[in-house]
Amino acid sequence: MTPFETPETQHVDPNCIFCKIVSGELPSRRIYEDDRAVAFLDIGAWHRGHSLVVPKRHIPDVVSGTSSLPEIAPAVDAVARLLMHRLAADGINLLSSAGQAAGQEVFHLHVHVVPRYADEPGLRSLVNPGGATDDELDSVYRQIQAGA
Ligand code: 5GP
Ligand code: ZN
């Protein structure tokens, strides 16, 4: 598969929630899109603005398929900068889990892009997720969109 195939010809897993988010079958707060990747707010936010960057085609994880990480790297780069600027974050953590042993729960490749704030020093994570209400997610979504 070439990286520039259209979404219609890309591999989709009918049981995958991130494939359904990419296609629009499931709703998400989408903050970025390019020809190969989509980014949206994580519903279980560890910190304000926590987002996921996913490839448009179904790839299970970062060690599956060919060139899976380079395919979404431009999107990760753009989303990290977008969140830094629009949310006035003080830092960013990137994380991608591959396999159950690593804590992966959704088996469609994703990179967590987690804005960090000086007054919240401890990284929340898979084992201590924190979470966000719908109102909090809507609020940060509006803030990210406002600079568009
Ligand atoms: P993993 O543990 O596989 O690295 O991370 C999966 C992430 O997907 C979790 O942080 C979880 O909150 C997020 N997630 C799971 N289901 C949904 C969903 O339906 N919508 C969104 N926006 N995020 C989801
Ligand atoms: Zn998928």
pLDDT value at position 148?
A: 65
Confidence band for 4, pLDDT divided at 50, 70 and 90: very low
Q: Where are the domains of the chain?
A: 7-117+127-146
User: Residue 5: CB partners within 8 Å, gap ≥ 6?
Assistant: 57
- Nearest CA, atom 18, ligand 1: 43
Ligand 1 environment, Cβ below 6 A: 17, 28, 40-44, 52, 97, 103-106, 126
The ligand 1 atom at the shortest distance from the C-alpha of residue 26 is 19
Does the reported pTM lie above 0.85? yes
Alpha carbon of residue 144 to chain centroid: 14
- Radius of gyration, CA atoms only, the chain: 15
Comparing C-alpha atoms, which of 127, 64, 53 is closest to residue 92?
A: 53
Q: Give, in degrees to the nearest 5, the angle at Cα 71 between 67 and 76.
A: 130
Distance 10 CA to ligand 2 centre (A): 10
> By three-state DSSP, how is residue 31 classified?
strand
pLDDT in tens, 93-114: 999 999 999 999 999 999 999 9
CATH code of the region 7-117+127-146: 3.30.428.10
pLDDT above 50 (res 2): no
